[in-house]
Homo-oligomer: A and B are copies of this chain.
Amino acid sequence: MRAMEITLNSPLDMHLHLRDGDMLKLTAPLSADFAGAVIMPNLVPPVTTPEMMQGYAERIEAALDGAAFTPYMTLFFTALGEKELLAARETPGFFGFKLYPAGITTNSEGGVSDMAQADTTLHLMEELGIPLLVHGESHGFVMDREQEFLAVYRHLATRYPKLKLSMEHITTAAALKLLDEFPNICATVTLQHLIITLDDVAGGALRPHLFCKPIAKRPEDRDALLQAALSGHPRLFFGSDSAPHPRCRKEACGCAAGVFTGPVALPKLAEIFATHGALENLQAFVSDNACKWYGLAPVQKQITLRNTPMSVPAAYRSYGQEVVPMYAGESIGWSVVR
């Protein structure tokens, strides 16, 4: 096999769950090959104030133990006035707001139940240039939730044309179609949604470590997402949605939603892009597209990946935590050159 490698400049993970406490100590270093990541605010309680956000950013910094990595911090969206939005925007590390429909995923019980109540806040965010990242699912049938939510995205993109609006972790061909229709929207897509379908979760035996929200969809959805990513679609960004849960919460009745991909994301992406002869678009997908859209200037960091295999551990264990990654106990064709 021909030796291949690629050097990425400042790769970014535009959607990351690091959790808190001992789990944060475990997960943060495992994402530190990235130059930075957009950090989700759905802790318990959710991160709703600049003070909470700053405290969380400091705990992330501490967990990173000196690694050059910028946490782009988000606040859990609630209806706020101009003074509060300005305070948020002025807080160091602030990136934007994450909006969850109430109760739609892990720790989202305090989310938005009626978008009309958010109108004033959204107009202000549009004026102030504050990004809105949305977990776009309805409360309908699990395979239809994202598609049903597209009407809300359409409404937001039309009513707030200058709002920096992101459809987070899209999973359907229909969402891509909307992305193409509205040049004022961007989107993120995870690693797993480029690879798996519902078949991988529940088509053979049930595989809880591949269970996430939004749930993996149909083969034609996966194929469309993969093609868009490989093509370097300028408004589609990598966002792992890496979402660790303790092993005991995944391998049990009532398995929590989330796939832990942080430590395998860059090698697997390199393998996928190389397999499809699209390595030249990986830089755009994992960094440049997002930098252009948001005007980011991440810390300079070069990561070289090579087509020598990475053995993925069966689990990552530290600080009393145990988390099972995607491809646990398997081999990935590419690895980070250390």
Q: Given A205-B257, A208-B208, A251-B251, list of 5 further CB < 8 A pairs? A: A141-B199, A202-B211, A206-B254, A208-B255, A251-B253
Q: How many chain copies? A: 2
A209 close to B (CB within 8 Å): yes
Give A253 Cβ to nearest chain B Cβ, in Å: 5
Contacts of A218 in B (CB 8 A): 141, 143
Contacts of A202 in B (CB 8 A): 142, 201-202, 211, 215
Contacts of A211 in B (CB 8 A): 202, 206
A219 close to B (CB within 8 Å): yes
- A219-260 at interface with B (beta carbon < 8 Å): 219, 250-257
Residues of A participating in the B interface, judged by any CB pair closer than 8 Å: 141-143, 197-199, 201-203, 205-209, 211, 215, 218-219, 250-257
CB nearest to A211 among chain B residues:
B206
Partner of A251, one of B143, B199, B201, B252: B252
Partner of A253, one of B199, B203, B208: B208
Partner of A205, one of B143, B209, B255: B255
Compute how far the CA of A259 lies from the CA of B252 in the bound complex, rounded to whole angstroms.
16
Compute how far the CA of A201 lies from the CA of B255 in the bound complex, rounded to whole angstroms.
11
CB nearest to A197 among chain B residues:
B141
Contacts of A199 in B (CB 8 A): 141-142
Q: Do A219 and B141 contact each other (CB < 8 Å), given the known contacts A201-B202, A202-B202, A208-B206? A: yes
Compute how far the CA of A219 lies from the CA of B142 in the bound complex, rounded to whole angstroms.
10
CB pair B205–A256 under 8 Å, yes or no, is: yes
Most buried by B among A206, A208, A209, A254: A206
CB nearest to A215 among chain B residues:
B202
CB pair B143–A198 under 8 Å, yes or no, is: yes
Contacts of A252 in B (CB 8 A): 251
CB pair A206–B206 under 8 Å, yes or no, is: yes
CB pair B255–A203 under 8 Å, yes or no, is: no
Contacts of A205 in B (CB 8 A): 254-257
Most buried by B among A250, A252, A253: A253
Compute how far the CA of A205 lies from the CA of B105 in the bound complex, rounded to whole angstroms.
9
Contacts of A198 in B (CB 8 A): 141-143
